[in-house]
Amino acid sequence: MMRMVRRSNPSKNMQILMRAGSVVAALAAAALLMAALGYNPFLVYYNMVAGSFGTAYRLQATIHKVIPLLVLSLGIAVAFKMKFWNIGAEGQMAMGGFGAAYAALKYGALPPYILLPLMFVLGMICGGIWGVIPAILKVKLGTNETLVTLMLNYIALRWLTYLQYGPWKVGGFPRIPDFSPNAVLPSLFGIHIGWMVAVLLTAAVYVMLRRTKLGYEIAVLGESESTARYAGINVSKVTIVAMLISGAVCGLAGMMQTSAVEKTLTEQFTGGLGFTAVITTWLARLSPIGMIGTSFAFAMLIQGGGYLETTMSISSKMADVLQGVIIFFVLGCDFFIQYKIQLRKPVRKGGEAK
């Protein structure tokens, strides 16, 4: 009676309308779920928006979540562009925070104009190393990058736990000392200058992917490895370099989070942002500009979800439910952008249509 048929050439306007419609449908479905649980969905949505943008302080808190999400998304996009499924942003962010913390704790007496660049460099180096490991394993041994990057997340997080409860512990409590004022990123307009780094990085990644030889090679490799080899591209080299950049960018997010927000290193400082960034990257269709919007949207869900807990006694996990519903609808939308349902008339035994 019906079958799925691939669309020949879906227009850009149709794709935009379908994706916008999928988000509206997701919000409507989540509203029905909230109503079934006894909550007023309009009040819930209002409080989520108010909790994210209602006051200057809440807006600053939301932007503080946008910054790492955007930077992590940019790092992941470099890997995803060549279809290297880097699910290890959480671990790369953690190792970036470790590198920054090492510099802050060991050289905390240095002036800020020396210490902060050193923290940036060490954070990017540690994140880059954590990104290169799965790339080398894939190139040399043919391992599955999804599993390797995922497992490396937990190794990195357990390493932070070891430091917090072991060699870096201060006093009788399992905590790492606070950074000196020299190791804290300065603020501009009430927000740490990481927002400027994120904006510049967005432009840099956009140019790299769209206007450079490396970006072209990454794109060709993402389309077809055999085509890349036929074109004379060194697949191993491009894979390793791209993952070095991807991990370094994610490590940069860890440096800024430890320096400007936490002002120390803790085992929970990543807060699952590395996993959330995988979603924001995919929903933005690997577009650096689009990632600004998706990062804002998910930062609002995280910040607004916490506000719901205090104002309406609703678990902040409701924001996670809403994220899941949105993802479900958007993925479904992607399927129907590529395919359409075609109805067929039933055929009688004699071969004639009814």
**Has this prediction a pTM greater than 0.85?**
yes
Enumerate the domain spans of the chain.
Answer: 70-286
Tell me the C-alpha distance between 73 and 246, whole Å.
9
Quick check: helix, strand or coil at residue 2?
Answer: strand
Over 60: is that where the pLDDT of 354 sits? no
DSSP 3-state assignment of 353?
A: strand
Mean pLDDT of 40-49: 89
Higher pLDDT, 82 or 4: 82
Q: Could you tell me which of 347, 145, 119, 110 has the C-alpha nearest to residue 240?
A: 145
**Span 180-201, average pLDDT:** 94
As a three-state string, the secondary structure of 166-216 is CCCCECCECCCCCCCHHHCCCEECCEECHHHHHHHHHHHHHHHHHHCHHHH
| pLDDT tens figures, 211-253 | 999 999 999 999 999 999 999 999 999 999 999 999 999 999 9
Instruction: Dump pLDDT digits (tens) for 155-178.
Output: 999 999 999 999 999 877 888 999
Q: pLDDT, tens digit, for every residue of 114-150?
A: 999 999 999 999 999 999 999 999 999 999 999 999 9
pLDDT at residue number 334: 78
Q: Is 1 helix (H, G, I), strand (E, B) or coil?
A: coil
Per-residue confidence (pLDDT) for residue 192, from 0 to 100: 94
For residue range 290-325, list pLDDT tens digits in order: 999 999 989 998 888 888 888 887 777 777 788 788
Distance in angstroms (rounded) separating the CA atoms of residues 87 and 81: 13
Instruction: Tell me what percent of the residues of the chain surpass a pLDDT of 70.
Output: 97
Please tell me the predicted confidence (pLDDT) of residue 69.
96
What residue type is assigned to position 28 of the chain?
A: A
pLDDT tens, 49-68? 999 988 888 999 999 999 99
Residue pair 29/329 in contact (Cβ under 8 Å)? The answer is yes
The pLDDT value recorded for residue 302 is: 87
CA distance 168 to 176: 6
Residues 5-33 have pLDDT tens digits of 777 777 778 877 888 888 889 889 989 98
- Beta strands 191-192 and 339-343: pairing type? unpaired
Burial 129-167 (b: 16+ CB within 10 A, else e): bbbbbbbebbbeeeeebeebbbebbeebbeebeebbeee
